[in-house]
């Protein structure tokens, strides 16, 4: 009897464990957080397998009003495996303010995760009570540090149907502007009237301290009009009228670099992390075999152009360091930019022994705590074993002697030595070769002189050859016009004049090497579009944006060099 009871209990336990192991994971996500009391937001429940049963959303009704619900699924077949995604989307509105809990929802025996949402009081829109369309803009923080991230948010309120709309981008002089992610759409009540809201996010990085004004953003919309009295309404069922609305201008009070920050590379950010990975064991290196070190810098609230170089390994006589081109990435979300810089360095020891790589320290300024912080990696000790690599002698300029392969029909033919070949060279043959070389050299010099005399000077596309006569501000203004009109030939001519003034460059490839990563890539893209097989039309907006950022960063570095004492006195 006891044995039967024990077996029954064990069977129930195993069944319970099997049920728990096979439970479907259901994730609950919010469209945005926080939300205001007078706006709706979306709760999405996602499962990658069929749940145990239908969902019961009644617990939500304690704090939320369910306005609309939708259900969908998506199935795919990848590499011989079937996958399925199921989603339940609920549009809800909070009943009161506070930190409200979105409870766990039961799908039969399966449960979703619980989450929280902050609900705040609604905004006063009394100035827009009679408007069909209006725009709201806000920027935070209002007093940022120079080159620090400012989150700029646009909200377009509409209670009419728009057939077509054209929205301007925000503009700020001496600033880098980046759009963040996709637009978010929801509904909101304004003075008791339901509006559809489209929310768009930008990251703005002011490059100059002082007062700066973000210009009003204008929306030009084709609104569907009531044409019930139009005689041609049968043929023109979609009559529209044009409406133009603008947001308010926003003024930023951009702060300079704090005096407490003495590092030569200014990096304002919300968070900075540095990591490293090795392709093998640093304590068991082999002489002559490479060991790859991967350095990764992750910065929240900065562009790729702001990230410093990481590699500090310098080749010496016994340890060689070879660096790959850095890999740069930017991840954009409504919370801002997340930039990643990855560098790979191959280290090859030529002798057995101990090696040391110095520590890496990246000073940065925390824009949230207003404090200087340092992201660092400790020094690394390397140990190499094995026989020392043999240094091969450098080949001399004497011509190599090719040994002839013996013919198959004469296997016993003796090999001809180098000495025999040299001795067979007569004095007359040597004079013949010298005479031919002199003849061809004279011909080449004569051709070069003829080319220099008869060559016609090339006409400059925009400016004269005297680059000193063209002020820098005039060049910048002309480049902006060329980029706005997507005139790549004009942009090339202006960049070359700028390169001659600043660096003495005569071609785009050399000029790109003097610029930061983002401007360098745009210049190389322009060069490729001009002379390559690229059929995609060239767009100059990013080139001028990165050009302005590059110049602003150079000016900032000059100011810091003049104001700060050198870290090491010579």
pLDDT digits (tens, 9 = 90+) for 157-201: 998 888 888 898 999 999 999 999 888 888 888 888 888 999 999
User: pLDDT grade, residue 560 (50/70/90)?
Assistant: low
Pick the CATH number of 127-228+238-254 from 3.90.1420, 1.10.3470, 2.60.40, 1.20.120: 2.60.40
Least confident of 67-81, 196-210, 333-347, 518-532: 67-81
Q: CB of 322 within 8 A of CB of 282?
A: no
CATH code reported for the domain at 268-385? 2.60.40
Report for 229-238, 425-434, 442-451, 516-525: range of highest mean pLDDT: 516-525
The position carrying tokens 């049968």 is: 234
* The pLDDT of residue 537 is above 70: yes
Lowest mean pLDDT among 181-185, 195-199, 216-220, 394-398: 394-398
State the pLDDT confidence band at 417, using cuts at 50, 70 and 90: very low
| CATH class of the domain whose range is 19-120 | mainly beta
Would the pLDDT of 229 be above 90? no
Pick the residue with more confidence: 226 or 183? 183
Q: Rounded to 10 degrees, what is the CA torsion of 422, 427, 428, 430?
A: 60
**pLDDT cut 90: percent of the chain above it:** 33
Question: What ranges do the domains of the chain cover?
Answer: 19-120, 127-228+238-254, 268-385, 467-555
The whole-number pLDDT of residue 516 equals 84
Bridge-based pairing state of the strands 285-286 and 380-385: parallel
More confident call, 272 vs 561: 272
Select the more confidently predicted residue: 398 or 376. Answer: 376
DSSP for 279-299 reads SS-TTSEETT--EEEEEEEEE
User: Residues 131-158: what's their mean pLDDT?
Assistant: 94
As a whole number, mean pLDDT of residues 300-316 equals 86
Determine the angle formed by the axes of helices 517-531 and 541-563, rounding to 10 degrees: 140
Residue 139 has pLDDT above 70, yes or no: yes
Q: pLDDT band for position 399 (50/70/90)?
A: very low
Q: How far, in Å, CA of 81 to CA of 544, rounded? A: 47
Q: How far is CA 341 from CA 303, 517, 552, in A?
A: 10, 11, 21
Average pLDDT of span 510-515 = 85
Q: What is the pLDDT of residue 257?
A: 95
Q: Are strands 81-94 and 64-78 parallel, antiparallel or unpaired?
A: antiparallel
The region of weakest confidence among 69-83, 394-408, 457-471 is 394-408
From 83-87, 163-167, 435-439, the region with the lowest mean pLDDT: 435-439
Topology agreement, domain 127-228+238-254 and domain 268-385: yes
Task: Say yes or no to pLDDT of 415 above 50.
Answer: no
Whether 103 has a pLDDT exceeding 90, the answer reads yes
* Confidence label for 561 from pLDDT (cuts 50, 70 and 90): low
The two structure tokens encoding residue 229: 């009295």
pLDDT at 20 over 60: no
Range scoring the smallest mean pLDDT among 36-45, 202-211, 420-429, 446-455: 420-429
Contacts of 410 (CB under 8 A, 6+ apart): none
Number of helices and strands (H, E) in the chain? 8, 30
DSSP code of residue 411: T
* CA gyration radius, the chain: 35
- Using the predicted structure, report yes or no on whether residue 436 has a pLDDT greater than 80: no
> What's the CA gap between 521 and 515, in Å, rounded?
9
Average pLDDT over residues 41-50: 88
Q: What is the pLDDT of the chain when averaged over all its residues?
A: 78
> Could you give the CA distance from residue 35 to residue 189 in angstroms, rounded to a whole number?
12
């Amino acid at each position: 009897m006891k044995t039967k009871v024990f077996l029954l209990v064990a069977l129930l336990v195993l069944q319970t464990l099997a049920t728990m192991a096979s439970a479907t994971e259901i994730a609950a996500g919010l469209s945005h957080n926080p939300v205001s009391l007078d706006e709706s937001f979306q709760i999405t429940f996602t499962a990658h397998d069929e749940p145990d049963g239908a969902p019961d959303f009644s617990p939500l009704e304690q704090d939320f009003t369910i306005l609309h619900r939708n259900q969908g699924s998506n199935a795919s077949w990848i590499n011989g495996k079937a996958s399925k995604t199921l989603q339940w989307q609920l549009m809800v509105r909070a009943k009161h303010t506070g930190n409200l809990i979105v409870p766990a929802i039961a799908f039969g025996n399966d449960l979703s995760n619980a989450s929280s949402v902050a609900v705040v009081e609604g905004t006063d829109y009394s100035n827009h009570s009679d408007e069909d369309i209006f725009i709201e803009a806000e920027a935070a923080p209002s007093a940022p540090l120079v080159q620090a991230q400012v989150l700029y948010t646009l909200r377009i309120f509409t209670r009419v149907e728009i057939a077509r709309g054209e929205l301007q981008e925000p503009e700020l002089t001496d600033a880098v502007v980046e759009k963040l992610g996709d637009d978010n759409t929801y509904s909101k009540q304004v003075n008791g009237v339901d509006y559809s809201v489209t929310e768009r996010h930008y990251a703005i990085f002011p490059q100059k301290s002082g007062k700066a004004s973000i210009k009003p953003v204008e929306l030009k919309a084709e609104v569907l009009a009531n044409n019930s009295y139009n005689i041609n309404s049968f043929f023109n069922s979609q009559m529209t009228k044009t409406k133009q609305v603008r947001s308010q201008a926003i003024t930023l009070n951009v702060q300079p670099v704090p005096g407490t920050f003495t590092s030569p590379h200014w990096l304002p950010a919300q968070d900075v992390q540095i990591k490293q990975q090795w392709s093998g064991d640093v304590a068991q290196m082999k002489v002559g075999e490479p060991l790859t070190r991967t350095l990764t810098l992750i910065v929240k609230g900065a562009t790729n152009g702001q990230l410093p170089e990481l590699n500090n390994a310098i080749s010496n006589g016994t340890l060689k360091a070879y660096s790959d081109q850095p890999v740069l990435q930017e991840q954009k979300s409504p919370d801002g930019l997340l930039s990643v810089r990855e560098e790979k360095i191959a280290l090859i020891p030529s002798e057995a022994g101990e090696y040391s790589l110095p520590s890496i320290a990246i000073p940065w300024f925390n824009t949230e705590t207003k404090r200087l912080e340092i992201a660092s990696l400790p020094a690394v000790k390397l140990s190499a074993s094995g026989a020392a690599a043999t240094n091969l002698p450098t080949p001399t300029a004497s011509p190599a002697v090719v040994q002839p392969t013996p013919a198959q029909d004469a296997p016993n033919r003796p090999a001809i030595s180098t000495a025999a070949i040299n001795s067979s060279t007569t004095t007359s043959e040597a004079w013949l070769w010298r005479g031919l070389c002199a003849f061809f050299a004279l011909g080449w010099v004569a051709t070069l002189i003829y080319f220099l005399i008869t060559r016609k000077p090339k006409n400059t596309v925009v400016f004269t050859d005297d680059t000193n006569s063209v002020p820098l501000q005039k060049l910048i203004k002309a480049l902006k016009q060329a980029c706005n009109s997507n005139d790549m030939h004009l942009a090339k001519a202006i960049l070359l004049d700028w390169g001659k003034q600043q660096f003495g460059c005569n071609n785009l490839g050399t000029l790109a090497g003097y610029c930061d990563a983002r401007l360098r890539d745009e210049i190389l893209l322009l060069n490729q579009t001009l002379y390559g097989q690229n059929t995609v039309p060239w767009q100059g907006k990013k080139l001028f944006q990165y050009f302005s950022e590059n110049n602003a960063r150079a000016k900032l570095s000059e100011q810091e060099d003049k104001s700060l004492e050198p870290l090491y006195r010579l």
